[in-house]
Amino acid sequence: MQVTYDFSGKSVLLIGGTTGIGRATANAFAKAGANLFVAGLGAAQGASLKDEIKAMKKGDVEFAEVDVRDAKAMADLHKRAFERFGRIDVAFNNAGVPGKTAPVQDLDEDDFSLLIDVNLKGIFLGLKHQVPHMIAHGGGAIVNTSSLFGVMGFATTAVYCASKWGVIGLTNSVALEVARKNIRVNAIAPGSVMTPLDRHVRQRTERQGHGLADDPDGADQRPLGDRATRAVPVVGRRVVHHRTGRGHRRRRIRRGGRRVGANLKRRARWRRPGSRLWRGPP
C-alpha cells in the first residue's frame, strides 16, 4: 500500500518543474493538496502543467519562467512567491542540465560553466533566499536534487559529477547551519529515471561511442512516479523531522534505497572534545 501525505494549507516552491522529476513531483504535491509556485524554463510546458494542476481543483498554483543562473531573476522569483503565498513551507531546488558528455580533455570552459552555474549555483541562489525566509517564519524544509553521480564517479561525466557532488556538500553544510532554526535541508540522489534529460544523455553518449553499458542502474531504469519522485514529498513532510543534511539515494528497486550522507551524529561526536571518537582538531 502506498502511503499518502496531506499538504493542505502548505505552500511549496518548486524550481525546475516543467519536465521530468520536477513535473511529476509538482503533480504529487498538488494531489496532496499543496499550494504550488512552480518555476522553470518553457512557457508552454509551464502553462500545460498549470492546467493539469488546476484540473485537480485542490490547491492554488502559479508558474513563472526563470533562469537559475541569473541572480536578479532568482531574487525576483522568490519575492513573487513569498508575496503570493505569504509563507513557503517546502522548497524543492530541482533545476539541472546534463551538459556535454565527453572525456575531460574534450571539455572547454563554457561546458564547465554551464554545468556548475545551473546544477550548483542555481541551488545556492535558491538557498540564499529560502533560508532567511524560513528562519523568519519559524522553519521549513528544503530539498535539493543531486544524483547518483553525486556520490560516485563515472567516465565522460566528470564535470556533471562534480556539480552533483557539490550539491551534496552544499546540502550537508547548510543543514548544519540551520538545524537549530527548525529548518531541514536534504538532498535526493536519484539513479536512472526515464526523463527527457536522461534519455538525452543516453542517446548522445551512444552516438559518441561512449555508451552507458556499465551504468549500474541502466538495467533498472524506472518510469516517473516511482520512489525518486515520491521521495520529495516524503522528505519535505514533518514526519521526517529528524532527518537533515542527508542525501536520499534511490538506486535499484531490488536493493532498496540507501541513505547517503547519514551518520551526522557520529561525525559530530568525533569532532567533540572528550568523545572516544575525538581525533583532535582537523
> How far apart are the C-alpha atoms of 189 and 178, rounded to whole Å?
21
Spatial contact of 75 and 129, defined as CB atoms under 8 Å apart: yes
> How far apart are the C-alpha atoms of 74 and 77, rounded to whole Å?
5
* Residue whose C-alpha is closest to residue 247's, from 200, 205, 186, 199: 186
Encoded amino acid at 134, one letter: M
| Cβ neighbours, 10 Å, residue 155 | 13
Residues 6 or more apart whose CB falls under 8 angstroms from that of 44 comprise none
5 has catalytic annotation: no
* Cα distances (angstroms) measured from residue 8 to each of 5, 24, 58, 236: 9, 18, 8, 13
Instruction: Given the residues 5, 7, 63, 160, select the one marked as catalytic.
Output: 160
Encoded amino acid at 153, one letter: G
Q: What is residue 250's three-state secondary structure?
A: strand
Instruction: Give bridge partners of residue 259 from the DSSP assignment.
Output: 248
* Residue whose C-alpha is closest to residue 225's, from 250, 255, 201: 250
Backbone Cα Rg of the chain: 19
Q: Which residues are catalytic?
A: 160
